């Protein structure tokens, strides 16, 4: 969820500074890129080297340090940040920001940013109850700065009461949710089809294809993580449904069509990652077909083209399709995009190793509605689904 998000973590001089190490470590594990700015007081509690080793980025303390590359550091960090998190936030930094004071690297960078700033305060209970602190916090809240609620409990100074730093997992959860809150996909209704379909020949035999459903399931998770309300219409797969996703299991192409039909009008986005069978046996034998002659002919009839059907019907909805091609891949896909009225098509070159149906990776070209194409190197399906969902959210 935090993949490729640039978060600037400000660490100030409180006893809870050591907990910022845990917070930074958790954010990094979730894929965020972290730049740490420490106040001078913070370095009395934890060393910059700790954060530098964890984040693998240079830690800034002094505004007048020789910059590592030539740029005005407080401005470049202020612009780069998707979000600022001050953890722990002392009464001092909150007071300084509330009064527009910019006398060190952290307060100056906060002053220079347009990004969201979140404070995770931590201080002695009496400091926390001090009306000056409350006024500063309320003033900042009115201006759109956010505060993570402190815990109540035993503080390092021995007091029992408010002002204890929120637990690291609560802080990280707050950060994740704030990206969801700002996500264009928040509360959007996203319908995703995944996997193959199967069509019976007789009570014991059926035809199907090699689709594993991995791409569709991964897309469902990515869209859910971005705050979308996701319905996954899945053909038979061995995959576990992502948490929080509404799953409708289907077998045949007709059932997949019916399920899409009953949700389409209401949805904002339809992602067609399934590989429904284009043909089905004309007749399904009631009894098991006996092994009699050396040749058995199976007559197939065409199934409904789900993508084309909803492409014609669409009004407000955006439709994203997939194409598995082996030759002339981009041109064929451009034709498919036009014919099916898609807003975007993701083209798999299934002739390549490590791409397509059963693989955990994929090699794709993405073509947009204006037929602009962008090719990507081999990627894990989870990474690719993040990228696709990011592009989808830009369509809204």
Ligand X SMILES: Cc1cc2nc3c(=O)[nH]c(=O)nc-3n(C[C@H](O)[C@H](O)[C@H](O)COP(=O)(O)O)c2cc1C
Both tokens of 293, joined, read: 């002659």
Residue 95 is a binding residue for ligand X (CB under 6 A): no
Count of alpha carbons within 13 angstroms of residue 107, beta-carbon side: 17
Residues 24-53: x where in contact with ligand X by CB under 6 A, - otherwise, as a string: ---------------x-xx-----------
Residue 15 is a binding residue for ligand X (CB under 6 A): yes
Identify the residue among 1, 2, 7, 93 touching ligand X (CB under 6 A).
93
Residue 12 is a binding residue for ligand X (CB under 6 A): yes
> Are the C-beta atoms of residues 345 and 323 closer than 8 Å to each other?
yes
Residue 223 is a binding residue for ligand X (CB under 6 A): no
**Closer CB to ligand X, residue 106 or residue 274?**
106
> Are the C-beta atoms of residues 256 and 247 closer than 8 Å to each other?
no
Torsion of CA 154, 48, 38, 170, to 10 degrees: -40
Both tokens of 184, joined, read: 């264009």
Identify the residue among 7, 123, 171, 194 touching ligand X (CB under 6 A).
123
The angle that helices 105-112 and 91-98 make with each other, rounded to 10 degrees, is 40
CA dist., res. 22 & res. 38, Å (int): 15
Both tokens of 339, joined, read: 């014919």
> Are the C-beta atoms of residues 10 and 84 closer than 8 Å to each other?
yes
**Closer CB to ligand X, residue 124 or residue 348?**
124
Minimal distance in Å, beta carbon 216 to ligand X?
48
Q: Which of 187, 207, 204 is nearest to 196 (CA)?
A: 207
Active site residue 267: no
CA quadruple 223, 30, 39, 163: dihedral positive or negative? positive
Residue 13 is a binding residue for ligand X (CB under 6 A): yes
Minimal distance in Å, beta carbon 234 to ligand X?
50
Residue 63 is a binding residue for ligand X (CB under 6 A): no
User: How large is the C-alpha radius of gyration of the chain?
Assistant: 27
Minimal distance in Å, beta carbon 101 to ligand X?
10
**Closer CB to ligand X, residue 96 or residue 340?**
96
The catalytically annotated residue of 157, 160, 313, 396 is 157
Q: Which of 149, 228, 136, 152 is nearest to 190 (CA)?
A: 228
Residues near ligand X (CB under 6 A), total: 15
Within the chain, where are the H helices? Answer: 17-29, 48-55, 73-80, 91-98, 105-112, 125-129, 131-142, 168-181, 214-225, 253-264, 306-313, 329-339, 381-395
Identify the residue among 14, 196, 213, 242 touching ligand X (CB under 6 A).
14
Identify the residue among 33, 92, 197, 253 touching ligand X (CB under 6 A).
92
Minimal distance in Å, beta carbon 52 to ligand X?
18
Residue 197 is a binding residue for ligand X (CB under 6 A): no
> Are the C-beta atoms of residues 363 and 348 closer than 8 Å to each other?
yes
Residue 323 is a binding residue for ligand X (CB under 6 A): no
Minimal distance in Å, beta carbon 389 to ligand X?
38
Residue 91 is a binding residue for ligand X (CB under 6 A): yes
Residue 242 is a binding residue for ligand X (CB under 6 A): no
Minimal distance in Å, beta carbon 107 to ligand X?
8
**Closer CB to ligand X, residue 40 or residue 181?**
40
**Closer CB to ligand X, residue 46 or residue 172?**
46
Binding site for ligand X (CB under 6 A): 12-16, 39, 41-42, 90-93, 122-123, 127
Catalytic positions are: 157
């Amino acid at each position: 969820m935090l993949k490729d998000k640039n978060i600037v973590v400000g660490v100030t001089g409180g006893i809870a500074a050591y907990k910022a190490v845990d917070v930074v470590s958790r954010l990094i594990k979730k894929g965020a890129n972290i730049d740490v700015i420490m106040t001078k007081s913070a370095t009395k509690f934890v060393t910059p080297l700790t954060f530098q080793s964890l984040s693998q980025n240079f830690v800034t303390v002094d505004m007048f340090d020789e910059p590592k590359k030539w740029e005005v550091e407080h401005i470049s960090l202020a612009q780069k940040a998707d979000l600022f998190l001050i953890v722990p936030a002392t009464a001092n930094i909150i007071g300084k920001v509330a009064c527009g004071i910019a006398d060190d690297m952290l307060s100056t960078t906060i002053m220079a940013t347009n990004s969201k700033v979140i404070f995770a305060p931590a201080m002695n209970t009496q400091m926390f109850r001090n009306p000056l602190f409350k006024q500063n916090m309320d003033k900042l809240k009115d201006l759109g700065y956010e505060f993570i609620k402190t815990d109540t409990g035993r503080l390092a100074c021995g007091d029992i009461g408010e002002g204890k730093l929120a637990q690291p997992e609560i802080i990280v959860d707050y950060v994740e949710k704030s990206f969801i809150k700002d996500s264009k996909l928040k509360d959007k209704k996203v319908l995703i089809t995944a996997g193959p379909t199967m069509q019976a020949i007789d009570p014991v035999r059926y035809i199907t294809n090699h689709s594993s459903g991995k791409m569709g399931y991964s897309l469902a998770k990515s869209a859910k993580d971005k705050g979308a309300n996701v319905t996954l219409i899945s053909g038979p797969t061995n995959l576990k449904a992502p948490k929080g996703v509404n799953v409708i299991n289907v077998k045949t192409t007709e059932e997949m069509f019916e399920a899409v039909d009953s949700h389409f009008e209401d949805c904002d986005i339809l992602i067609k990652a399934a590989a429904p069978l284009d043909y089905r046996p004309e007749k399904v034998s009631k009894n098991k077909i006996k092994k009699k002659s050396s040749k058995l002919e199976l007559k197939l009839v065409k199934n409904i083209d789900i993508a084309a059907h909803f492409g014609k019907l669409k009004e407000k909805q955006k439709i994203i399709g997939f194409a598995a091609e082996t030759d002339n891949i981009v041109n064929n896909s451009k034709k498919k995009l036009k014919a099916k009225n898609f807003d975007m098509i993701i083209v798999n070159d299934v002739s390549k190793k490590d791409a397509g149906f059963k693989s955990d990776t994929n090699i794709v070209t993405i073509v947009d509605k204006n037929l602009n194409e962008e090719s990507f190197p081999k990627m894990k399906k989870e990474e690719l689904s993040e990228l696709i969902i990011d592009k989808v959210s830009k369509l809204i």
